[in-house]
Amino acid sequence: MKKLLTLALILSATLCVQAKKYKLALNLEVGKEYIQKSNAKMTITQNFNGMPIEIGMNIKGDYVFKVIGAENDQYDMEVKYRTVEMEMESAQGKSSFSSNKASEQDIMSTMLSRMIDKPFKMIMGQNGKVIEIKGIDNLFGGMFEGFDITQQQKDQILAQLKQSYGAKAFKGSFEQITAIYPEQKVKLGKKWTTETNIEAGMSVHVTTNFELKAANTEYFLLHGEGDLSSNPNSPFVKQNGMDMKILLDGNLTSDIKIDRKTGWIIDATIVQNLSGNTELKAGEQIPEGMSIPMTIKSKSVITN
């Protein structure tokens, strides 16, 4: 009889936990700073005239977000980069740059160092959606000071940096790990769908189906599976004197742990597999245009 009673109590408690609904959303405190560190590793393979060309990249960033106001389920935040690092490896060799290694001999690292501790503003909803980014061009002010390079070189470098660190790129990459919250309360095993766009050298729409996998007194654990699709009507952009656009489709998986009290990311891992083409527009250099097969495999790890 005691065993039956104990079993009944355990089953009852289990059912209560499963039936409980949780509010998943950001709950940040005005005046506090929240940290995010990211490490994205990717392998890019292009097939050029039947010859595969592989490039490995590793991009790291360390950011601080200070909440300076909160109103109408929105947060007014001041954002700063604390460190920026990038590595690239190909058949031609390996190169690395870091905002911590500025020197006269290392122009790229010096330019990255000039992005550090320059604040810009971001307004974000409790649902993790970025509503507005203001003043991010402040990052690039004075970047070329003291360098003897042509205006054409400056424009080219600046355009490439904005593709990686400009407003659209920041919004898309940031929302991949923040625009994750459901509109309603959810219970364990419940699924919901979110959508966002990535604009970082290519235009990609992301649809992710999330599931609440675990809940305890410290954190919530989410698992996501999604699809990425390019917009075939996206405009060509000029790179290295050529008009091009990248059209890639694929899938992703994500595992995200969020703080139960604040809703801020504790850690997250996102794996993406994309394939498609780099389209080169017909012009003087390539009269008939060109389509180059391309794949990207990436793994991003985010911590607080």
Q: How far apart are CA 172 and CA 177, in angstroms?
A: 9
Question: Who's near 133: CB < 8 A, 6+ residues apart?
Answer: 120, 121, 122, 123, 167, 170, 171
pLDDT per residue as tens digits for the range 272-283: 999 998 888 877
**Residue 24: closest CA among 227, 249, 179:** 179
- Cα-to-chain-centroid distance, residue 244: 22
Q: Does the pLDDT at position 27 exceed 90?
A: yes
Mean pLDDT along residues 5-27? 62
Asked if residue 209 lies in contact with residue 192, where contact means CB atoms within 8 angstroms, the answer is: yes
- Name the burial class of residue 264, with classes exposed (0-12), middle (13-18) and buried (19+) by CB atoms within 10 angstroms of its CB: middle
Q: Any idea which of 54-63, 235-244, 249-258 has the lowest mean pLDDT?
A: 235-244
- Mean of the pLDDT values across residues 254-276? 94
The pLDDT of residue 19: 66
pLDDT digits (tens, 9 = 90+) for 190-245: 999 998 887 766 778 899 999 999 999 999 999 999 999 987 777 777 776 677 78
- At 170 the three-state DSSP class reads helix
Of the pLDDT bands very low, low, confident and very high (cuts 50, 70, 90), residue 16 is very low
Please report, rounded to a whole number, the percentage of residues in the chain having pLDDT higher than 90: 45
Q: Secondary structure of 226-265 in the HEC alphabet?
A: EEEEECCCCCCEEECCEEEEEEEEEEEEEEEEEECCCCCE
CB burial of 149-160 (b: ≥16 within 10 Å; e: otherwise) equals: eeeeeeebbbee
